Amino acid sequence: MRAWVATYFFLLFFCLRTPGLGLTIQIDYRYDVTGFFDHPDARAAIEAAARRWSRIINQPLAAVDVGDDEDDRRFVLRHPGTGKLIEVSSASGVESDALVEAGASPADEYWGGIQIPADTFIVFVGSRDLDSLGLAGPLGGGTNFEEVFEEVDGLLNRGFNVLPEFGNLTVIGGFASFDSDGEFEWHFNHLTTPEQGTVDFYSIALHELGHCFGLGATGVVEWEGLIEGDQYLGANALSAYRQDHESNLESLPVQGMVENRFDYHWKDGAIDSIIFPLGQPNYLSTVGRGGVQEVLMSATAYFAPGVPRHEVTNIDVGALKDLGWSVLEVDPPQEPPIELQILRDVSGEFILKFSSQLGKNYRIQTSLDSHQWNDVTPSILGKNEITTWLSGDPNFIDPNGLGAYKKAGFFRVVKD
């Protein structure tokens, strides 16, 4: 419903239910030994980046429920806070570890069973001193990798790779470390524009989470198999490039050999792409809807002047498909709008009233053009009663700025 309130501006008010998430990406902070994610904006940004990928990837993954038995499963992760490789076992301890009994070395951690819900992907996060902004990748296999990976619906494979002998990409989850040595000044708030001289944490979080799915990841057979020399040949990423640029390019460059090692990122400064429009991108401070930016998974985060934030691009999503991930092809249909009551107080602020359900999460969103929507924070928890929100409430942060509605702005309410 569009309501004209003056000759020089208008507002659009409606309430939607957000399209359902596909893959649930669960951020696990147990290895955040430095307290990096004690900063609420850092935690909010990594969670927002995870939700962004969740709205893109709709790959089904089998549930995991393994205990302490004769087939004790293991996986390996790089501790996000120390960099040490940690082998985790599903056994309860050394005494009951069947692999130790068979002569293997003890694991570093014993979890006494591993349970992961279906369609859930876990990313362990933390921080430490790095030579780069971040470091991330998929979890690896442990001592008994081959046996565990060949369980098609098991801990590491989960029904993703139905021909496991041709790959090694595990889909239990990943790890991500972020630099904490003070060399870079982070801008954590993903709902505001990064200040000059800072690095947008949301952009880097998106990039590192991409590595967890295998994009640009060293040692992932599926990714390395898409590259000949220093050229990427994956059909879906190439198709995305051709559509973005109306080109018949036959390959895409990767970094190649850098300081005696092969770098599997996209080549710096060589590939541009349009922001992937499905799954509700965060367009704030980016090139915007239909705009072209450097691909997210390039080796270096180069932000063009006046564009301090990156998003997931069509080529990055095409590469996910090349790896075997199922992704969103069309935005899911939205439920009918929820009735809103719209009032205006004596100061000219707008009051939104809507009926909320107990325990459900509601997000107010604002836009300057009705296309690029951004969350007002914090979200609102339903209470089984009429919920009220005031546009000028100082307890809420509008990423489009105070009084944004006076610039031909729009509001909507989204139910998660």
What is the CATH topology of the domain spanning 2-18+337-415?
Immunoglobulin-like (2.60.40)
How would you class 42 by CB atoms within 10 Å of its CB: exposed for 0-12, middle for 13-18, buried for 19 or more?
buried
Task: Annotate the chain with three-state secondary structure.
Answer: CEEEEECCEEEECCEEECCCCCCEEEEECCCCCCCHHHCHHHHHHHHHHHHHHHCCECCCCCCEEECCCCCCCEEEEECCCCCCEEEEECCCCHHHCHHHHCCCCCCCEECCCEEECCCEEEEEEEEECCCCCEEEEECEECCCHHHHHCCCCCCCCCCCCCCHHHCCCCCCEEEEEEECCCCCCEECCCCCCCCCCCEEHHHHHHHHHHHHCCCCCCCCHHHHCCEECCEECCHHHHHHHHHHHCCCCCCEEEEEEECCEEEEEECCCCCEEEECCCCCCCCCCCCCCCCEEECCCECCCCCCCCCCCCCCEHHHHHHHHHHCCCECCCCCCCCCCCCEEEEECCCCCEEEEEECCCCCEEEEEEECCCCCCEECECCEECCCCEEEEECCCCCCECCCCCCHHHHCCEEEEEEC
Kindly give, in sequence order, each residue whose CB lies less than 8 Å from that of residue 40, ignoring residues fewer than 6 positions away: none
Q: What is the pLDDT of residue 150?
A: 87
Sign of the dihedral defined by the CA atoms of residues 146, 150, 151, 157, in that order? positive
For residues 289 and 321, what is the distance between their CA atoms, to the nearest angstrom?
22
Residues of the chain with CATH 2.60.40: 2-18+337-415
Kindly give, in sequence order, each residue whose CB lies less than 8 Å from that of residue 188, ignoring residues fewer than 6 positions away: 39, 41, 42, 44, 45, 201
Cis check for the bond before 194: say yes or no (omega within 30 of 0).
Answer: no
Give phi and psi for 355, each to the nearest 5: -80, 125
**pLDDT string in tens for the chain (416-residue length):** 222 222 222 344 444 444 445 899 999 999 999 999 999 999 999 999 999 999 999 999 999 999 888 888 999 999 999 999 999 999 999 999 999 999 999 999 999 999 999 999 999 999 999 999 999 999 999 999 989 988 888 999 999 986 656 789 999 999 999 999 988 899 999 988 899 999 999 999 999 999 999 999 999 999 999 999 999 999 999 999 999 998 889 999 999 999 889 999 999 999 999 999 999 898 888 998 899 999 999 998 888 788 999 999 999 999 999 999 999 998 776 666 677 777 877 877 778 888 888 888 888 887 776 666 777 767 788 888 888 888 777 777 776 665 555 554 677 888 87
Q: What is the pLDDT of residue 233?
A: 97
What's this model's pTM, rounded to 2 decimal places?
Answer: 0.82
Q: Tell me the pairing of strands 199-200 and 140-141.
A: unpaired
For residues 34 and 110, what is the distance between their CA atoms, to the nearest angstrom?
23
Quote the tokens at residue 410. 């729009």
Q: What is the pLDDT of residue 19?
A: 45
- Cβ–Cβ < 8 Å for 88, 74: yes
Considering only CA atoms, which of 305, 174, 315 is closest in space to residue 243? 315
Instruction: Specify which residues 367 forms β-bridges with.
Output: 410
Q: What is the dihedral of CA 68, 72, 78, 84, to 10 degrees?
A: 90
Q: What is the pLDDT of residue 13?
A: 41
